[in-house]
Chains A and B, each alone.
Chain A
Amino acid sequence: MFRFLIPLPGLYMGWGLGSNDAANVFGPQVNSEIVRYRTATILTAIFVIIGALLEGRKSFATVGGVTDLVIWTAVVATLAAALTVNLMSYLKIPVSTSQAIIGAIIGIGLLGHTEIKTLLLRKIFISWILTPLGALVIAYLLYKFLALVWQRKVKNLMVFNRTVRIFSIIIGCYAAYALGANNVANTTGTFVGIVPGFSPFMATLLGGGSIALGALTYSRNVMYTVGKKIATLDPFSALIAVLAQAITLHIYAQFRIPVSSSQAVVGAVVGVGLVKGMRMVNKKTLINIFTGWIFTLVGSGAVAYSLGWIVKLFLK
């Protein structure tokens, strides 16, 4: 009877994801006043849903395959991940929904003594390490290549004005698409194949919709704080950083691994900085990211384990 309520924690997770990560998609464009906040969130919502619908299902098997889940463990793991994301955001610790959901699944797996697929986990961990590094390399190469095209094509201020305007929209839409394609599995991925009648299509639609809702309703603050940091770059560099982040996420979507858009964007900004001979990210930021990484993974695992333990008592 209440079957339709089961994926609710996933929607809560999606809402948190959308409100946090919309900044990595349209933050610089909104902060530079090239795109209005409302327009940015509407475009993010549309393209996140398209990305989720077209490519989102690719990572479902990865999220759901870390351990064997049943309905209640999937609900607890997703709820624990969502709560961790909310708590970490409240404490202003950088957080990744991908790490939160995998940490929670590991936690619930340890509680239930179900087999944890270490080979898959190893693949996921390596991908997480490679996310900022990959984004760095992509940003570096993109900058080098596109700067040549830019120098050849952008010959005056009118062309500069028009090009920045057009590409701000195109790159933002593509980044939203990549976010939907890569991250939707973090929201509803645990329920696919477990909840009767909950098809991958429904999972991508509801997951994508919840991310879209997060972007539409609660992304303003993060958009203006996180986005501002990227917007301190010149328009060309900021667009390269967003594009490199989007390409990284899109590539990982093809490898079926959800990764963090925030960590990708930091790598991309460092990559742009390397081309320009500037140090874009200080040691404190890197330490923040690393501690966020550990805290999210361990924290969501602990929350899932504790929550699961309480639920288990009731189920007995």
Chain B
Amino acid sequence: MPRKRREEEVITLMDQHLEKVEECLESMKKTIEDYLGGNIDLAKENALKTHNLEGAADGLRRRIIEEFHKGAFLPALREDLIGLTLSVDKVADRAESTCDFIMLTRPDIPEEFKEDLRKITFNSITTFPALREAKKNLFKDFSLSREQTIEVHGLEARVDDDEWKMNRRIFTFELPLAQKMLLRDVVWHIASISDVIEDAADVLEVLIIKKQV
């Protein structure tokens, strides 16, 4: 395969990988909504879907790495781009582990916290579109890509704030300690998705800085 076509193929695969990770996040969000709505069967179904989507994202990740090893892009770029792909893939891993954690521990969530959990879930996964666009713009416009990575940091900070406020509420609420700790873990899992997204944005940012003189 000519080098240019191989590079275009890698970019297409990277876009597909981003879409798959985003689908994974959407599916995780549905799992949480169904769980909070008391629809456990549907939540289980969506958790399984999340698991399958994460597997599909893994498959794409492996294909991307294979294409790099066949010679797509300069060797100086390959390592960085593989690192970025692995970082993005961790977002799907975290979405899957969040579903697993909830479906395994089945935490009892008081009504007073459900809206907050929905909010933090929404905020955490809406960090991803900025990363998606930043990564796509890496191949179009460095400056735009950097702006979007900065946007990711802002969105992640919002989730950190949500997490801190929610943990404070949990620990000031009248609940058994075990339940408090389980709730805190649920919050941590959901909020950590935006942390992983921010980590990927950091990798992307370093890559851009390294390629500019």
Complex: how many Å from CA A235 to CA B25?
37
Complex: how many Å from CA A236 to CA B77?
13
Complex: how many Å from CA A154 to CA B77?
15
Closest to B143 in A: A155
Given A147-B213, A151-B213, A160-B211, do A32 and B142 touch, yes or no (CB 8 Å)? no
> Would you call A161 and B77 a contact (CB within 8 A)?
yes
> Would you call B142 and A155 a contact (CB within 8 A)?
yes
Q: Contacts of A147 on B, CB cut-off 8 Å?
A: 213
Answer yes or no: A315 CB below 8 A from chain B CBs: no
Determine how close the nearest CB of chain A comes to the CB of B10; give it in whole angstroms. 11
Report, as a range, how many residues of chain A touch the other chain. Answer: 20 to 34
Answer yes or no: A156 CB below 8 A from chain B CBs: yes
> Would you call B77 and A157 a contact (CB within 8 A)?
yes
Answer yes or no: B37 CB below 8 A from chain A CBs: no
> Would you call A156 and B76 a contact (CB within 8 A)?
no
Complex: how many Å from CA A234 to CA B143?
20
Complex: how many Å from CA A143 to CA B137?
27
Determine how close the nearest CB of chain A comes to the CB of B139; give it in whole angstroms. 5
> Would you call A234 and B210 a contact (CB within 8 A)?
yes
Q: Contacts of A126 on B, CB cut-off 8 Å?
A: none
Given A32-B76, A165-B74, do A157 and B138 touch, yes or no (CB 8 Å)? yes
Q: Contacts of A32 on B, CB cut-off 8 Å?
A: 74-76
Answer yes or no: A46 CB below 8 A from chain B CBs: no
Answer yes or no: A150 CB below 8 A from chain B CBs: yes
Complex: how many Å from CA A218 to CA B142?
42
Closest to A33 in B: B75
Complex: how many Å from CA A295 to CA B143?
52
> Would you call B74 and A156 a contact (CB within 8 A)?
no
Answer yes or no: A110 CB below 8 A from chain B CBs: no
Contact residue among A157, A161, A236 (Cβ-Cβ distance under 8 Å from B213): A236
Closest to B80 in A: A157
Q: Contacts of A156 on B, CB cut-off 8 Å?
A: 137-142, 145
Q: Contacts of B77 on A, CB cut-off 8 Å?
A: 157, 160-161
Q: Contacts of B105 on A, CB cut-off 8 Å?
A: none
Answer yes or no: B7 CB below 8 A from chain A CBs: yes
Q: Contacts of B172 on A, CB cut-off 8 Å?
A: none
Which of B73, B74, B137, B138 has the most chain A CB within a 10 Å cutoff?
B74
Complex: how many Å from CA A33 to CA B74?
8
Complex: how many Å from CA A147 to CA B137?
22
Q: Contacts of B140 on A, CB cut-off 8 Å?
A: 156
Determine how close the nearest CB of chain B comes to the CB of A28; give it in whole angstroms. 11
Instruction: Mark out the residues of chain B between 74 and 126 whose CB falls within 8 Å of any chain A CB in the assembled complex.
Output: 74-77
Closest to B145 in A: A156
Complex: how many Å from CA A161 to CA B210?
13
Complex: how many Å from CA A33 to CA B77?
11
Answer yes or no: A194 CB below 8 A from chain B CBs: no
Instruction: Mark out the residues of chain B between 122 and 176 whose CB falls within 8 Å of any chain A CB in the assembled complex.
Output: 137-143, 145
29 A-B pairs in the complex with CB atoms less than 8 angstroms apart: A32-B75, A33-B74, A34-B74, A34-B75, A34-B76, A143-B213, A147-B213, A150-B213, A151-B212, A155-B141, A155-B142, A155-B143, A156-B137, A156-B138, A156-B139, A156-B140, A156-B141, A156-B142, A156-B145, A157-B138, A158-B7, A160-B211, A161-B7, A161-B73, A165-B74, A234-B76, A234-B213, A236-B213, A237-B213
Known: A156-B145, A234-B76, A234-B210. 6 other contacts (CB 8 A): A34-B76, A155-B143, A156-B138, A157-B77, A160-B77, A161-B77
> Residues on B close to A: CB < 8 A?
7, 73-77, 137-143, 145, 210-213
